C-alpha cells in the first residue's frame, strides 16, 4: 500500500517502521518543515529516535504529503489537534487513527470527528521505543467497517507485531483515553513510594472505573479484559518510559503539570484527557473517584490528601 503517516512523533515514527518493514510505501508527514528536513537529511528521527534507521521512509510536511494518492492515511497527532488535522486532509482514502484520547472541546471519541471517509482505530500495549527495536507486541484494530479493519490487519501483521480485530470501537477508544488518566495516578503512587500493593489496587480500581464509564457509553465488558483495556493499562502504568506514568511521578515529587510536561518533552495525553473524562462522567452520573482525584491534584490539591480520601471512602462491595 501507499501510506502517509501524519505525525512525526515517537508513535508515528515507530508505526512508519512497522509499515516499511512490511513492504509498504511510506511517507512520514511532519507539522514542522525543519523536522521533516532533518529526517530526510539524517535518515533518522533526531528528536525521538536518533538510533533508528529510517531508510526507505520518505519525509515531508503535512501540506506537501501525498495524501490524495495514498491508499491509507495514518493519523498519529495529539488529541487536541486530531479534529483539525482530519478536517484538512484532502482526498477520500481511509483513516487509521493511532491517537489515544478524547476531543478536549466536545468530549467526543476521536473517530466520530471523521465524517467524510472510512475510519478505524488501533490501540493496545504499544510502547513505541520497543516496537522500533523489533520486540514482539500486539495490538487491536476496531471500527464499524469490518472489511477495512481486516484489510489493515493483514497488511501490518508480522512475526513481531500481531494484530487482532475488534468491532467494539466505543470500548477500544474509551479504554485508550481513560487508561492515560489512571496511569497518572499510578505514577503518583510511584512518586510517593506507596509500594506495589497500593499501585496494584489503584490500577485494578482504575480498570473498574474505565469499565463503568465505557459500558454506560455502549461498550462491551469483554473489551476491558483484552489488549485495549487491561493490556494497555498495565503497560502504561508500569513502563518506565510511559509518559503519563512519568508525569504522575514527577507531579507527586513536586513538579507542576506544566513542569512535568516540559521535562518529558512530549505530549502527555492524560493531562488533556483527565478533565474531559471527569466532566463526561459527571454528565452520565458515573462515579469515578480516581479520575476525580487526578483532576483535583492537577488543580493543586496535595497528592497525599487524595490518597487519604480514597482510602477513607465508605466500605463497599467490589
pLDDT in tens, 153-187: 999 999 999 999 999 999 999 999 999 999 999 99
DSSP assignment of 64-78 equals: TS--TT-SEEEE---
Asked whether residue 304 carries a pLDDT value surpassing 90, the answer given is no
Measured distance CA(244)–CA(112) in Å, rounded: 24
179 as an active site residue: the answer is yes
The DSSP 8-state label assigned to residue 6 in this structure reads: E
- Asked whether the predicted pLDDT for residue 231 surpasses 90, the reply is yes
For helices 169-192 and 289-298, give the axis angle rounded to 10 degrees.
60
Per-residue confidence (pLDDT) for residue 311, from 0 to 100:
74
pLDDT (tens digit, 9 = 90+) per residue, 103-156?
Answer: 999 999 999 999 989 999 999 999 999 999 999 999 999 999 999 999 999 999
Task: Find the DSSP H helices in 113-231.
Answer: 128-132, 146-156, 169-192, 196-216
Looking at residue 268, its pLDDT comes to 96
Supply the pTM of this predicted model. 0.93
**Cβ distance 16 to 54 under 8 Å?**
yes
Catalytic residue among 100, 108, 179, 240: 179
Q: Which three cell numbers mark 161?
A: 507485531
Length reported for the chain: 318
pLDDT at position 35 over 90: yes
Residue 19: predicted pLDDT? 98
* Helix-helix angle 169-192:303-311, to 10 degrees: 110
Say if residue 317's pLDDT is above 90: no
Fill in the DSSP letter of residue 102. B
Amino acid at each position: 500500500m501507499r501510506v502517509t503517516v501524519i505525525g512525526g512523533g515517537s508513535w508515528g515514527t515507530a508505526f512508519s517502521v512497522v509499515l516499511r518493514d512490511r513492504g509498504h510505501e511510506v511517507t512520514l508527514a511532519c507539522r514542522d518543515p525543519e523536522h521533516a528536513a532533518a529526517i530526510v537529511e539524517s535518515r533518522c528521527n533526531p528528536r525521538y529516535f536518533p538510533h533508528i534507521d529510517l531508510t526507505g521512509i520518505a519525509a515531508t510536511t503535512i501540506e506537501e504529503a501525498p495524501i490524495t494518492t495514498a491508499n491509507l492515511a495514518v493519523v498519529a497527532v495529539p488529541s487536541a489537534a486530531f479534529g483539525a488535522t482530519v478536517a484538512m486532509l484532502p482526498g477520500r482514502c481511509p483513516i487509521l487513527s493511532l491517537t489515544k484520547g478524547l476531543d478536549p472541546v466536545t468530549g467526543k471519541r476521536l473517530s466520530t470527528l471523521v465524517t467524510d471517509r472510512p475510519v478505524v482505530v488501533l490501540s493496545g500495549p504499544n510502547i513505541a521505543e520497543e516496537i522500533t527495536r523489533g520486540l514482539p507486541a500486539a495490538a487491536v484494530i476496531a471500527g464499524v467497517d469490518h472489511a477495512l479493519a481486516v484489510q489493515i490487519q493483514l497488511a501490518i501483521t508480522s512475526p513481531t507485531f500481531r494484530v487482532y480485530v475488534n468491532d467494539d470501537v466505543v470500548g477500544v477508544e474509551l479504554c485508550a483515553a481513560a487508561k492515560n488518566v489512571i496511569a497518572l495516578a499510578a505514577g503518583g503512587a510511584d512518586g510517593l513510594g506507596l509500594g506495589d500493593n497500593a499501585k496494584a489496587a489503584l490500577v485494578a480500581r482504575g480498570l473498574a472505573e474505565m469499565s463503568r464509564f465505557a459500558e454506560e457509553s455502549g461498550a462491551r465488558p469483554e473489551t476491558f479484559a483484552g489488549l485495549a483495556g487491561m493490556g494497555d493499562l498495565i503497560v502504561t502504568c508500569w513502563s518506565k518510559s510511559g509518559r503519563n506514568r512519568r508525569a504522575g511521578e514527577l507531579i507527586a515529587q513536586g513538579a507542576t503539570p506544566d513542569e512535568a510536561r516540559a521535562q518529558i518533552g512530549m505530549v502527555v495525553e492524560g493531562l488533556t484527557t483527565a478533565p474531559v473524562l471527569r466532566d463526561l462522567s459527571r454528565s452520565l452520573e458515573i462515579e469515578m473517584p480516581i479520575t476525580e482525584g487526578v483532576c483535583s491534584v492537577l488543580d493543586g490539591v496535595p497528592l497525599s490528601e487524595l490518597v487519604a480520601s480514597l482510602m477513607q471512602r465508605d466500605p463497599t462491595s467490589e
